[in-house]
Amino acid sequence: MSLAQWFKTSFPVDNEALVEMSSEPIPNHLKKWWWALGGTPLYMFVVQVITGLLLVFYYQPDVNGAYDSISRITNELPYGWLIRSIHKWSANIMIASVILHMMRVFFTQTYRKPRELNWMFGVTLFLLTLIFGFSGYSLIFEQMSYWAMKVGTEIAGATPIIGDWLATFIKGGEDLGQHTLTRMHIFHVMILPLAMVALIGLHVYLIRTLGVSDLHFKNEPKTEKKTFPFWPDHATTELVMVALIMFVLITLALLFPVHMGERANPNVTPIHIKPEWYFYPVFRWLKLTNLFWGVMGPMIFIAILYLWPFIDRFFEKIAPGKDLSFWIGILGTLIMIVFFLWEILGH
């Protein structure tokens, strides 16, 4: 028995089935580069996993050692600064691309029947991405990240009904401390990645089974074929996208490498404090409202996001053809942009 035969007997994979699986027909609009960005968060997640695995070899989830271990990674270990910079920038690109992807799905209304559930999985992935960012930032244990963790856990504590339990669960006690850092670490390197992989699997599975929605544009040339094959046509496009995004990622990491901030001081909040950019709108909202609405506002926003496919159906029923969803989406985006800029420019 030859080695090839032995392998085929021991690992009986049907090649034809594999070819069929990878030959999903792709709608023509995905030939446009701009429409081939859906995979970006996934590529960034892979980068996160690889760089995260490297970082976790040296990171110490200990209130007395966390800052020093990151300082060692950044300043002493070979390529440590680059690995950490890539980890940070890929997180930022991941969050930005998830937001852009969601906006694209929202404005092209591809969350409509039968894709409502997949939209909900997508919203959950968006929330997981934000929690990933929050937990990862907390691990650095520098001044800004410590106080971001403080504010974040206090917000959890102000949640109606389950607030006390939730805050204790996140903090592992009454105050921020070793238990909190341990929990953030477990969430960041264990629970969230597992949840993320499971949800990405479900998201992609539903995209495969329900198919990519077919979009058409004005002045589109008429072609006989409405689709093109995934392999090799679309796969090549995706590979070029990967190369391009990696180039952008490496450039950002080289031009704007990470630095160490001031060591965490639980007794003094920095006078100029800002969260990471993706929490700017929420941070501004918290300045404008009382605590109850400060916490309820983002929760209502998330609930609306989850239920949007059904809200949209209701709008279509009461005002058919008026594109209410589109205009509400524009209004929501503008409010987010105003809050975002207000937080950048204000203090």
Residues making contact with other proteins (CB under 8 A): 147, 150-151, 154-155, 158, 165, 168-169, 172-175, 266-273, 283, 286-291, 294
What the block records as the tokens of 334 is 């503008």
Nearest-approach distance from CB 259 to other proteins, in angstroms = 21
Contact 299, 285 (CB under 8 A): no
Nearer to other proteins, 25 or 266 (CB): 266
Nearest-approach distance from CB 196 to other proteins, in angstroms = 21
Strand, coil or helix: 261: coil
Report the interhelical angle of 324-345 vs 80-107 (nearest 10°): 150
The upper half-sphere exposure of residue 78, i.e. CA atoms within 13 Å in the direction of its Cβ, equals 0
Q: Which residue has the tokens 């799905």?
A: 105
Nearest-approach distance from CB 159 to other proteins, in angstroms = 13
What the block records as the tokens of 121 is 């999985």
Nearer to other proteins, 30 or 148 (CB): 148
Task: Tell me which residue of 59, 56, 85 sits closest to 71, measured CA to CA.
Answer: 59
Nearest-approach distance from CB 294 to other proteins, in angstroms = 6
Nearer to other proteins, 175 or 214 (CB): 175
Nearest-approach distance from CB 45 to other proteins, in angstroms = 26
CA 280-63-52 angle, to 5 degrees, is 65
Contact 26, 230 (CB under 8 A): yes
CB atoms under 10 Å from CB of 130, counted, come to 17
Nearest-approach distance from CB 178 to other proteins, in angstroms = 12
Q: Which residues contact 167 (CB under 8 A, 6 or more apart)?
A: 153, 154, 156, 157
Nearer to other proteins, 45 or 146 (CB): 146
Nearer to other proteins, 89 or 283 (CB): 283
Strand, coil or helix: 142: strand
Nearer to other proteins, 150 or 188 (CB): 150
Nearer to other proteins, 294 or 329 (CB): 294
Nearest-approach distance from CB 198 to other proteins, in angstroms = 18
